[in-house]
C-alpha cells in the first residue's frame, strides 16, 4: 500500500499537468486566432487608402485602381482575411506591399535579432532582480532595503524612451563610450553584437528590473511569515540559512511566474527601444511598415509577437504548477 499510493499520486499529478498543458494550448490557439482577427480588422479600419499611400497623392485613379487589383485589395475583407490566415498556417506571411518581396525571411531574421536582445536583457535582469530581492529581505526595514526599493521604483517610473535617450546623451554623446546606433548583422562577431546591444539592453533592464525585484521581495516576505519559518528560527538557525534553505524554495513559484511574465513584456517593450536605437528587430520592422502602410508586414510582426507572448504565458502557467505541490496534484 505504501508503494502503491505514491505511484498513483504521481500518475494523477502527471495526468493533471498534461491536461493543463492541453487546455492552455487550446486556449492559446483560440486567443491567437482572435488576435489575428483583431489585427486584420484594426489595420483595415485605419483611415486612408493603402494603394494611395504606396503610390503617393499624385497618383491617378487608374493607377490606384490597377494597384488595388494587383494587391487583391478589391476583394471583400473576409475573403482577404481567410486567404491571409490560410497562408500564415502554411508559413507564408505574404508579400511586402512596398518592396514586393516575401516577408517570411526578413520576419525570421528580425525575430532572431529581437530574441537576441531580449535574451541578453534577461541574462542580466533576472540575476540582478533575484539578488536585489534577496538582499532587501535579508536586511528588511534597514536603510539598504529602503535604498534598493527607491532605486528600483525610480527605474520603473522612467519611460523607456526617456531612459533610452538619456543613456544616449550620457554614454554616446558626452562620454563617447558606446554607439547610439545598435545596427547589427548576422555575420558580425559575437563581441560586436554584444557591444551593439549594451545601451538598448540597459534600457530594457531598467524597465523590468524594478518589478521583478519588488515581486521577488514580496514573495520572499510572504513565505517568511509562515509558521515553519518560526520553527526554523527557534531551532537556532542563522537568518541567512533560514532565508536560503527554507524561505527561497517555497517562494520559487511566484518568483518564476513574475520573471516569465516580465520576459513576455520584453517582447512588447522592445518595440519602442528598437526604434530609439535603430536596432533591426521586429519592433523597428513593424513601426517602419506602419509609416509606409505596409499591412502584410505589420500583420506578420504583430502576430509573431502575440505568439511569443502567449507561449511565454503558457510556460509561466506550467512552471507555477511544477513548483506548487498542491497545484501539481490538481488540488
Per-residue model confidence as pLDDT tens digits over 56-78? 666 677 776 776 776 666 677 78
DSSP letter (8 states) at residue 102: B
> In the chain, where are the structural domains located?
104-328
* Whether the predicted pLDDT of 178 surpasses 70: yes
The average confidence (pLDDT) of the chain is 76
CA 97 – CA 99 distance, rounded (Å)? 6
Question: Environment class of residue 192 by beta-carbon count within 10 Å: exposed (0-12), middle (13-18) or buried (19+)?
Answer: exposed
CA 66 – CA 99 distance, rounded (Å)? 17
CATH superfamily of 104-328: MetI-like (1.10.3720.10)
Query: From residue 199, how far is each of 182, 183, 245, 274 by CA, in Å?
Result: 8, 12, 36, 11
What pTM, to 2 d.p., does this model score?
0.76
Instruction: Return the beta strands (E) in 269-312 as ranges.
Output: none
CA 279 – CA 183 distance, rounded (Å)? 5
Region 20-35: what's the mean pLDDT? 82
- Which residues, in sequence order, are CB contacts of 234 under 8 Å at separation 6+? none
Confidence of residue 95 (pLDDT cuts 50, 70, 90): confident
Predicted pLDDT of residue 1 = 46
Residue 170: CA count within 13 A, CB half-sphere: 9
CA 262 – CA 269 distance, rounded (Å)? 10
Exposure pattern of 197-213 as b/e (b: 16+ CB <10 Å)? Answer: bbbbbbbbbbbbbbbbb
Residue 102 contacts residue 95 (beta carbons within 8 Å): yes
Confidence of residue 247 (pLDDT cuts 50, 70, 90): low
Q: Which three cell numbers stand for residue 63?
A: 493607377
* Whether the predicted pLDDT of 317 surpasses 80: no
pLDDT in tens, 188-225: 788 888 888 888 888 888 888 877 888 778 777 776 66
Residue 253 contacts residue 320 (beta carbons within 8 Å): yes
Predicted pLDDT of residue 50 = 65
* Whether the predicted pLDDT of 2 surpasses 70: no
Predicted pLDDT of residue 244 = 60
DSSP 208-267: HHHHHHHHHHHHHHHHHTSHHHHHHHHTT--HHHHIIIIIHHHHHHHHHHHHHHHHHHHH
CA 172 – CA 163 distance, rounded (Å)? 13
Amino acid at each position: 500500500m505504501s508503494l502503491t499510493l505514491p505511484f498513483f499520486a504521481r500518475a494523477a499529478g502527471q495526468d493533471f499537468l498534461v491536461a493543463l498543458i492541453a487546455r492552455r494550448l487550446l486556449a492559446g490557439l483560440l486567443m491567437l486566432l482572435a488576435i489575428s482577427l483583431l489585427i486584420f480588422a484594426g489595420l483595415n479600419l485605419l483611415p486612408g487608402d493603402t494603394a494611395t499611400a504606396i503610390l503617393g497623392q499624385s497618383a491617378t485613379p487608374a493607377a490606384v485602381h490597377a494597384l488595388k487589383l494587383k494587391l487583391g485589395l478589391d476583394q471583400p475583407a473576409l475573403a482577404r482575411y481567410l486567404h491571409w490566415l490560410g497562408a500564415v498556417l502554411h508559413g507564408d506571411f505574404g508579400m511586402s506591399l512596398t518592396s514586393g518581396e516575401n516577408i517570411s525571411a526578413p520576419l525570421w531574421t528580425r525575430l532572431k535579432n529581437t530574441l537576441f536582445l531580449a535574451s541578453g536583457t534577461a541574462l542580466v535582469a533576472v540575476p540582478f532582480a533575484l539578488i536585489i530581492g534577496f538582499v532587501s529581505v535579508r536586511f528588511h526595514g534597514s536603510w539598504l532595503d529602503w535604498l534598493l526599493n527607491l532605486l528600483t521604483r525610480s527605474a520603473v517610473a522612467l519611460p523607456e524612451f526617456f531612459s533610452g535617450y538619456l543613456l544616449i546623451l550620457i554614454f554616446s554623446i558626452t562620454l563617447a563610450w558606446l554607439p547610439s546606433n545598435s545596427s547589427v548583422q548576422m555575420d558580425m562577431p559575437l563581441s560586436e553584437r554584444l557591444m551593439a546591444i549594451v545601451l538598448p539592453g540597459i534600457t530594457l533592464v531598467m524597465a523590468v528590473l524594478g518589478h521583478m525585484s519588488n515581486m521577488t521581495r514580496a514573495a520572499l516576505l510572504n513565505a517568511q511569515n509562515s509558521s515553519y519559518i518560526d520553527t526554523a528560527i527557534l531551532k537556532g538557525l542563522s537568518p541567512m540559512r533560514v532565508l536560503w534553505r527554507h524561505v527561497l524554495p517555497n517562494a520559487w513559484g511566484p518568483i518564476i511566474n513574475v520573471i516569465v511574465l516580465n520576459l513576455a513584456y520584453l517582447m512588447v517593450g522592445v518595440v519602442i527601444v528598437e526604434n530609439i536605437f535603430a536596432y533591426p528587430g521586429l519592433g523597428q520592422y513593424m513601426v517602419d511598415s506602419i509609416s509606409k502602410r505596409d499591412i502584410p508586414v505589420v500583420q506578420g510582426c504583430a502576430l509573431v509577437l502575440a505568439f511569443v507572448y502567449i507561449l511565454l504565458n503558457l510556460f509561466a502557467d506550467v512552471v507555477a504548477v511544477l513548483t506548487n505541490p498542491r497545484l501539481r496534484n490538481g488540488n
